[in-house]
Structure 1
């Protein structure tokens, strides 16, 4: 996995830590744990899945106390078994406890996305279709959630409204038709900008292909309709299937021959991967 630049990650982690530490810091640990006490703790998977988000977890610990060090056993993108140690964290106990929840929140959330993505990728392994995410991401966390999709073996759709044209149903309605919407887009954007159009019917697809686009999003079509759509396109554009795809239905969708399958729930509804921080040992209190 190619890591995301720290300049992208640090504002997210810093904001989450400030939210959790509030105005007084970790008053529970401050009352119970002797200052200067060192400890070693393990980040452990409570269930099988795929790891993602370790860089954010590391940042959470180090921003609270630079004296905390982490040793990674299972990096981002790695599959883990229930009970397997992902990493160990060692250093001042107060810092470990203060950063614990923030580190685990990121790690559980992103590992959940990676695990969900991996489940769908595995389901369509026999076919050429790639699994891609959408813009249905948690506000402010798009970069890291899309990173988690990659960690799970998936690919990314556009990152925002400004990196590709995607003509959807409301654009078509406002423009008055598929052809008009595509023609206006072609007249407006530069030659390096890709144009994709969402179609609900084979009739709309026929109109889109008559004008010419780079990709077509085949929305909520049955597997049989998807097969017909792929035949109609005949390699002239990228074909993307979308609409309530699950690991159970993904193989039938992929068997239609589409190039991409986009799934919004990977980032908006994937369950977390249960990961915990387990105490291992305590070192001597610093003088």
Structure 2
């Protein structure tokens, strides 16, 4: 958390230990991160699998907007990020973007006057070694699965 700007929020993903999601997310909060999407029903997230099944990001966003005011869209390129912003996504997840790709995408969104309308989330391939580079890009959110899914257990025993 100290490696990123204060305005950038650090979120743990939903990738948590079975049955321990609440506790994993609470630990992230105690450590300075934020709880995000504890349950699937908290916010609709349009992911790559949904887009592949629908075969049209535009159609899927239109269907989602009919039922939900807030929704997140996972994108894999700048063009899809622009489309999601134009169609009113609340959050756009820039999945597996490099810091350079994120900076380019933010510049395009600013030029089209779309940046202030949406929260941008960087996700995928981010770890403690490269998080500061992602923090400098200007994203609003950085989400990292390894905060909760790569925790090493303590090896201890009790002998009587």
Q: TM-score, normalised by structure 1?
A: 0.50
Partners of 2:22 and 2:72 in 1: CA distance: 22
Tell me, yes or no, if structure 1 residue 217 matches structure 2 residue 96: no
- Alignment equivalent of 1:264, drawn from 107, 130, 145: 145
CA distance in 1, matches of 2:18, 2:151: 15
Question: In the alignment, what sits opposite 1:123?
Answer: 3
Q: Does 1:146 align with 2:25?
A: yes
**What is the CA distance between 1:271 and its match in structure 2?**
2.5
Tell whether the 8 Å contact from 1:213 to 1:237 is kept in structure 2 after alignment: yes
Q: Choose from 136, 143, 146 the match for 1:255.
A: 136
The alpha-carbon deviation at position 146 of structure 1 amounts to 0.4
Q: Is this contact kept in 2: 1:127–1:254, CA < 8 A? A: no
Work out the CA distance in 1 between the residues paired with 2:148 and 2:95: 19
* Cα distance in structure 1, aligned partners of 2:134 and 2:6: 10
SS where residue 217 of structure 1 aligns? strand
Contact 2:3-2:135 within 8 A present in 1 as well:
no
Question: Retained in 1: the 8 A contact 2:45–2:72?
Answer: yes
Q: Given that residues 133 and 156 in structure 1 are in contact (C-alpha distance below 8 angstroms), is that contact kept between their aligned partners in structure 2?
A: yes
Unaligned runs of 5+ in 2: none
Comparing both chains, which one has the higher relative contact order based on Cα–Cα distances under 8 Å and sequence gaps of 6 or more?
A: 2
Q: How far is the alpha carbon of 1:213 from its aligned partner?
A: 0.9
Aligned to 1:183, the other structure's residue is in SS state helix
Match 2:84 to one of 208, 219, 235: 208
What TM-score does the superposition give when structure 2 sets the normalisation length?
A: 0.88
